[in-house]
Amino acid sequence: MVTKGRLKMALAAEKGTDFKKLNQKKKAKEASKKKATKEVVEEKPTESDEEEEEEEEEEEEEDVEGEEDEEMGNGVNLDAIDDSDTSESSIEMEKRLPRKPKKDQKTQAVEAKPNADDDEDDEEEENEDEEDIPMSDLEDLSDAEKEDLIPHSRLTINNTSALLTSLKRIAIPSDKSVPFATHQTITSTILASEAIPDVSDDLQRELGFYTQSLEAVRQARTKLRGEKVPFSRPKDYFAEMLKEDAHMEKIKAKLVEEASNKKAAAEARKQRDLKKFGKQVQVAKLQERQKAKRETLEKIKTLKRKRQETGGAGLGTNEADLFDVGIDNELAKYDSRSGAGRGNMGGRNGGNQKRQKKDEKYGFGGKKRHGKSGDAVSSSDLSGFNPKAMKAKGKVGKSRPGKGRRKAMASR
């Protein structure tokens, strides 16, 4: 028991310092945040008492569990060794360090209840260090808010000195002492995370990468030119490419197809617009035609009236006026323009070609039956009659030989 007494003393000393720190921290936290959770408030005054209790419990357990603890202790020791490797790690790890000697000396199980408390303390420490939200607050959050949280369950390991040593081991020299061509590495001056505020915005993100690379290429080119290193490939240098020709052909085909698709779409859209617009044009045209017709008729009327007014006093008028040539001209003009097809197609307006064709095909105006049968007009039509042919009838008949002769000719 004497040894244990010493042990306890040492432990108390150690823990005492530890908890002073803890207390200070918690006070500072309270002062800054001014909102302490219930747990913290309850713990604060009773902490020292609790601590002593914990120690007593630990002792009792040690007595009881004796051998088991030693076995379990090996695992703990291994942990401790691992941890001590990262002796110069970041803050969290350093915070944990003062506790380790205790574990080593005592070789105690981690599973014991007081140690569970310790773990909680550790978690609290971590939370404080990062100014995260304490776990007790997390429970109050709604489910939707909880989804956004990233659970920080694992420890941060960031062993700066070890990182730097391994960096020194593998680094390819890329400072100014060596020519640029040996490493061809450019670290930009712009932080990508600042240039690209929103990662999910594809266009902006890709633009950020593009500008970063372009800047790097510009710098690299000047540097390489300065070192007389060939940069751009001459046109007559052919070599194996990263993508084979077949693949590039495919890419080209795809580009062509895309372009043609785009063109076709544009064309279709244009056509649609035109169709919409074309109707208006047609209506306007019809109206214009109507207007022209009205004007013409008006003109004819005025001319006729003028004619009547002037009457027989034809001394001042010229020949054309005398014989109403003006009116005839006007009428002819009108007829030739709008009423050309009127006669032949049963009084239809000949303006619409499609209609005309359809009328021809399916019939419009009058019956088509007996169209080829003779009637008074056709029988009186003697245009196809040639009297000379009638007179030369006898000669024509002679040209055909008799039957026997024809047979003989065929057999020959």
Partner 1 sequence: MAAVYKSLSKKDSKKSTTTDDNGIKKNKQRVLVLSSRGVTFRHRHLLNDLASMLPHGRKDAKFDSKSKLYELNSLCELFNCNNCLFFEARKGQDLYLHCSSVPNGPTIKVLAALVHTMEELHFTGNCLKGSRPILSFDAAFDKQPHLQVIRAQFQRIFGVPQGARKSKPFIDHVMSFSLIDGKIWVRNYQINEEEASKVKSAEAETDATKDTDLSLIEIGPRFVLTPIYISEGSFGGPLIFSNKSFVTPNQVRSDMRKLKATRHNGRSEQTRERLSKKGDLGLRSNIGHERQSDGTDTKMLFA
Structural contact between residues 226 and 242, judged by C-beta atoms closer than 8 angstroms: no
The size of the interface with partner 1 (CB under 8 A), counted in residues, is 75
Q: Which of 24, 74, 136, 184 binds partner 1 (CB under 8 A)?
A: 184
Residue 318 touches partner 1, criterion: CB under 8 A? no
Distant-in-sequence contacts of 161-170, Cβ < 8 A, 24+ apart: 161/88, 162/86, 162/88
Residue 12 or 164: the one with the smaller Cβ distance to partner 1 is 164
* CB 261, min distance to partner 1, A: 14
Q: Residues 134 to 163: which contact partner 1 by CB under 8 A? A: 143, 147, 150-152, 154-160, 162-163
State in angstroms the smallest separation of the CB of 229 from partner 1.
8
What count of other Cβ atoms lies within 10 Å of the Cβ of residue 58? 20
Q: Which long-range contacts (CB under 8 A, 24 or more apart) does 111-119 make?
A: 111/72, 112/57, 112/58, 112/61, 113/57, 114/54, 114/55, 114/57, 114/58, 117/50, 117/54
Q: Which is nearer to partner 1, 152 or 272 (CB)?
A: 152
Which of 188, 290, 302, 329 binds partner 1 (CB under 8 A)? It is 188
**Between 3 and 187, CB nearer to partner 1:** 187
Q: Which residues inside 253-282 make contact with partner 1, applying CB under 8 A?
A: 254-255
Nearer to partner 1, 251 or 322 (CB): 251
Stretch that binds partner 1, among 33-41, 52-60, 208-216, 272-280 (CB under 8 A): 208-216
Q: Which residue has the tokens 């544009």?
A: 266
Token pair of 322 as six digits: 């005398």
| CA separation, residue 217 to residues 25, 26, 75, 186, 205 (Å) | 51, 52, 54, 9, 18
> Given the rule CB under 8 A, which of 20-28, 213-221, 263-271, 400-408 is the region that contacts partner 1?
213-221
- With tokens 């693949």, the residue in question is 247
What is the Cα–Cα distance from 129 to 156, expressed in whole angstroms? 12
x/- mask, partner 1, residues 225-254, rule CB under 8 A, reads ----xxxxx---x-xxxxx---xx-xx--x
Q: Which is nearer to partner 1, 162 or 303 (CB)?
A: 162
Query: Which of 110, 196, 300, 331 is in the footprint of partner 1 by CB under 8 A?
Result: 196
Residue type present at position 185: T
- Report the distance separating Cα 322 and Cα 304, nearest Å: 12
Identify residues 320-339 at the interface with partner 1 (CB under 8 A). none
- What is the number of other CB atoms lying within 10 angstroms of the CB of residue 26? 18
Give the shortest CB-189-to-partner 1 separation in angstroms.
6
SS3 141: coil
CB of 295 to partner 1, least distance (A): 57
Instruction: With contacts defined by CB under 8 A, name the span among 192-200, 299-307, 364-372, 397-405 that binds partner 1.
Output: 192-200
For partner 1, which residue of 133, 210, 302, 340 counts as binding (CB under 8 A)?
A: 210
Report the distance separating Cα 171 and Cα 139, nearest Å: 47
Give buried/exposed letters for 128-148 (b at 16+ CB in 10 A, else e).
beeeeebeeeeeeeeeeeeee
In the window 76-95, what residues touch partner 1 (CB under 8 A)? 82, 85-86
